[in-house]
Structure 1
Amino acid sequence: MKQPWQTAWPERISYGLSDAADNLVFQMMTTYLLFFYTDVYGLSTSAAAILFVVARLADVVESLIIGVMIDRTHSRFGKSRPFFLWYALPYVIFATLTFVTPNFGSTGKLIWAYVTYLGLGFFYTAVNLPITSILPTLSQNEHELTLLGVIRQFFGSSVQLVVAVFTLPLVAFFGHGNQQHGFLLTISLFSLISLGLIWNTFFQVHERFSQPEQAHQPLSEVWAMLKKNQPWLVISIVILLYWLTTAIKNQTTIYYFKYLLHNESLVPIVNGFTFASLIGVILIVRATRKIGKKRTMLTGILIAAIGQLGLAIGAEIQNLGLIFGATFVNSIGNGLIIGLVSIMIADTIRYGMSMGIQAEGILASTDDFGVNVGLGLGGLVTAGLFHLSGYAANHTQNLATQHMITLNYAWLPLGLYGLMFIILWFYNEKRLLMAINQN
């Protein structure tokens, strides 16, 4: 018998806007923070690389802590929903402070960067992880959960496009040539919007389906379930690889256009072509009905890799038309990949419930875990390789650094797409769906 749909459009839109809220800040962090630290704030590439590693190591622990906190939360609002209310304000405060440039010496500025960036990482996890953990409690209808995941990613990807295209123009508009002021005022604007959207999510969404006898199991029981949850392990690795790929390419984009093409103003234009990710996201509902989630994501990885290959060739010969077109194709594939992440994580949560354990907090933490580790490794790879090649901020780059920029922007992401495809091949979707449907 077909299950009825439990959510109405106001709740669906509000759920989707939660990801839009987080991405206003998150995309500033992933795309422009390394550039801000090296070329505006004044950190060396080696100091930035170490900071990213420390922050991501901390975030790995924080993801697990927040996951356990969700699974241990008892409130009249549910397990995940209260986190939108409690942590939205400190999240946007730390987001703003991260882009403050205090008049300190080099040591003081480094300490400030550590405190603000580590704080931002913790509170980002506290408001982002619940978006994934709450999903399987909103409905029991598989197609409705897919729709909710697609709506979430549509809004998230739309905001990614907004940040990618409008950040640098806003920095120029607010800063009037002063990038320190420009970045600070831009993140302040994004933070205010983010705060309103996160609180709106708290008031509009509702946790409906929970199994009290399964919801607060001992960690030893949860750990035993995790070891048997093969789909969760596979999708966790894929998420990590995806964000590693994204971090390396996104962080290098501005360097490629500034130092190899000598035209930083082209960055918003090339980023504008990433709107094609919305096409991939929209295709998910129809594609998953026809070929399933695993094959849809595999198709997305293949499309993204084809686009990345075209981008690599375009980057080598410095052909803007090819770079723009390849970015368009690559983004369609990325939309298919990232749009399915929260949906497939929700499936692994439901798979865990078929084993008698409802641990949506810990299982959903794999999403933030993958994001944090991927971004950390991406920042380390990018900043570390730049440092080894002799990168000098705001100067003409030597030949080794130019090659390193192209490697990060074009070729490393291509290899990582191939690895993603191989790992996802082992995702056992048939066993997972059989267990969920029998539960």
Structure 2
Amino acid sequence: MKFIGGIHVSSINLTTDHKRYYVKIKSGEKVAYGFWGFGSDLVFQTITIYLTFFYTDIFGISPAQVTALFLVARIWDAINDPLMGAICEKLHFKMGKYRSWMFYLAIPYGISTILLFTTPNSPAVKVVFAWVTYIAFGMLFTGMIIPATSLSSSMTQDPVERTSLNSFRMFCSQLGGVGCSILVPYLSTHLGSTPKQGYQFAMAILAIIMAISFMVAAKVCQERVPETNSEEPFRFRDVFEQFTKNKPLLFVFVLYLAAYTFNIMVSSVGTYFVTYNMKRGDLLGTWSLTQTLPSIFPLLFVPAMVRRIGKKKVALLGAAISLIGMLMFFFSPDTAFTWLFIGKGIGSFGYGIELGILWSILPDTVEYGEYITGRRCAGVVYSLASLSIKISLTIAGIVPTIVLDAVNYVPNGVQTESCLTAIRFLNSLIPAIFLLIGIIVFSRYSLTEKRFEEIVVELTKRRNEAADKGVTVKLTSQTNASVDK
């Protein structure tokens, strides 16, 4: 007699058994999963919003040096991220395939974020210190984010529940962004005797919260969905196969690039716009809130929107709304504060829709990849998503520094008219172009909800056939289920 995960193979009904892992996540587990999203973005949003400005105006290195740092770091990430995805698939621990990384890397990752906002006393070592700490941060970020985001594909196979789970996580993430917008301006000015100390102490507090959030999620969340039926060891060429054969993943990859480049760019250069174009540094906290707060509310409605019009249309709708907001921003004068805030708020609202659906679409490409290649490689799929975010960080970091250097930007000085115009473009039209590219490419995405369910049925059929032949079926949960004879 054979069993799979405690279920008699002889009792399996293919018409219903494909939903065996359509698990409804309990509220406590969902809250824990959302908690790591809150802690992660509490830190990550701080880095995307403030790091470039911190490097040029507080740490004290030039825009050209920042550009070189971001570029070299991303070249390394092109190797490091897929490699981490492969390692994540290859290694298994007592806590599971993904959760162990989240638990044990939480503290080292937190330390790396504090070092990012630490300024050495010796000017001679500043550049080297920035390079070492930024690249170390990037590697630890990869080691954390790939397992953490891959976890949702293993918690449940239900596409609706995945949408709900990831929408809630992104809701919590944006709350973390709001927390960052409120806490960082306050803490950086009230802690320490200088801005350098203020930023360092502020990040230390946020990093502690972040580390706790990852460790709690690792302990509470569970891995359930089985891996591929194949008994062959993981192959590093699986990375190449996923990237070349998994076409829905490629379209999602481009949409990730567009959405994250848009958000990171408008976040990182917003500080320049408020400081130099609006000449209202006192509004920086409010400006940061406008970048994050409007994106929270649509996350509550994304699951309902998906049930009504489907994931693809929701994704395109969110990008289109953000595009409208950026165009409104672009045509508003520097003195039209109300319209600038409205345009920025609309852009943020659309991005909230985009956030809620991006991480809900990605798990579906894991099943598609398994269907095409015969191998379930969630870690590889999510490593490519991580890589897309890293590339977005590069584009959103390099483009502004190149532009600012070209228009002779003067840190803490009076800016020329051409420089102010460039800052306006960086806050509106340039990120809008990336969104438009994402809309055009993602319009070709064809993995509908109906097609996804057909694929899950086929994968279930393959697992059942493997069970009949006596092939071991690995599970990503703590207790591996095997076929007993």
TM range (shorter): over 0.9
TM-score (normalizing by structure 1): 0.95
C-alpha spacing 1:421/1:437, structure 2 compared with 1 (3 Å):
farther
1:434 has 2:454 as partner: yes
> In structure 2, what is the equivalent of residue 194 of structure 1?
210
Structure 2 counterpart of 1:245, which letter? Answer: F
Aligned residues: 436
What is the SS of the residue equivalent to 2:436? Answer: helix
Which of 371, 378, 381 is equivalent to 2:389? 371
The Cα offsets for residues 182-217 of structure 1, whole Å up to 9 and x where unpaired, read as: 101100000111111111011101111122534844
* 1:236, distance to aligned residue in structure 2 (A): 0.4
> In structure 2, what is the equivalent of residue 20 of structure 1?
38
Task: Report if aligned partners of 1:277, 1:332 keep a CA contact under 8 Å in 2.
Answer: yes
> In structure 2, what is the equivalent of residue 252 of structure 1?
269
1:279 has 2:329 as partner: no
* 1:221, distance to aligned residue in structure 2 (A): 4.9
Which of 224, 229, 237 is equivalent to 1:213? 229
1:266 has 2:283 as partner: yes
CA distance in 1, matches of 2:179, 2:132: 28
1:125 has 2:146 as partner: no
C-alpha spacing 1:419/1:318, structure 2 compared with 1 (3 Å):
farther
Task: Report if aligned partners of 1:230, 1:428 keep a CA contact under 8 Å in 2.
Answer: no
* 1:375, distance to aligned residue in structure 2 (A): 0.7
> In structure 2, what is the equivalent of residue 84 of structure 1?
102
Write 1 or 2 for the structure with the bigger share of helix.
1
Paired residues for 1:230-241 under 5 Å: 230-241=247-258
C-alpha spacing 1:303/1:199, structure 2 compared with 1 (3 Å):
same
C-alpha spacing 1:222/1:366, structure 2 compared with 1 (3 Å):
closer
> In structure 1, what is the equivalent of residue 479 of structure 2?
none
Runs of 4+ aligned structure 1 residues displaced above 4 Å come to 1-4
Structure 2 counterpart of 1:184, which letter? Answer: Q
Comparing 377-386 with 73-82, greater Cα deviation is found at 73-82
C-alpha spacing 1:225/1:251, structure 2 compared with 1 (3 Å):
closer
Q: What's the % identity of the aligned pairs? A: 24
C-alpha spacing 1:31/1:277, structure 2 compared with 1 (3 Å):
same
Task: Report if aligned partners of 1:278, 1:335 keep a CA contact under 8 Å in 2.
Answer: yes
* 1:340, distance to aligned residue in structure 2 (A): 1.4
1:343 has 2:363 as partner: no
Which of 354, 362, 381 is equivalent to 2:399? 381
Task: Report if aligned partners of 2:277, 2:334 keep a CA contact under 8 Å in 1.
Answer: no
Structure 1 counterpart of 2:184, which letter? Answer: T
1:112 has 2:129 as partner: yes
What is the SS of the residue equivalent to 1:120? Answer: helix
Which of 138, 159, 162 is equivalent to 1:142? 159
Task: Report if aligned partners of 1:225, 1:357 keep a CA contact under 8 Å in 2.
Answer: no
CA distance in 2, matches of 1:212, 1:428: 23
Which of 185, 197, 204 is equivalent to 2:201? 185
CA distance in 2, matches of 1:224, 1:212: 15
* 1:60, distance to aligned residue in structure 2 (A): 2.5
> In structure 1, what is the equivalent of residue 440 of structure 2?
422
The structure with the largest alpha-carbon Rg is 2
Q: Can you give the 5+ residue segments of structure 2 that lack an aligned partner in the other structure? A: 1-15, 460-485
Task: Report if aligned partners of 1:71, 1:79 keep a CA contact under 8 Å in 2.
Answer: yes
Which of 394, 406, 417 is equivalent to 2:424? 406
Structure 1 counterpart of 2:410, which letter? Answer: A
TM-score (normalizing by structure 2): 0.86
Task: Report if aligned partners of 1:214, 1:358 keep a CA contact under 8 Å in 2.
Answer: no
* 1:6, distance to aligned residue in structure 2 (A): 4.0
CA distance in 2, matches of 1:92, 1:317: 38
The Cα offsets for residues 331-364 of structure 1, whole Å up to 9 and x where unpaired, read as: 1110111121221110000112223211011111
* 1:18, distance to aligned residue in structure 2 (A): 1.3
C-alpha spacing 1:141/1:221, structure 2 compared with 1 (3 Å):
same
> In structure 2, what is the equivalent of residue 40 of structure 1?
58
C-alpha spacing 1:201/1:346, structure 2 compared with 1 (3 Å):
same
- How large is the RMSD of aligned CA atoms in angstroms? 1.7
The Cα offsets for residues 140-176 of structure 1, whole Å up to 9 and x where unpaired, read as: 2222111111111011111112112331122111145
Task: Report if aligned partners of 1:161, 1:275 keep a CA contact under 8 Å in 2.
Answer: yes
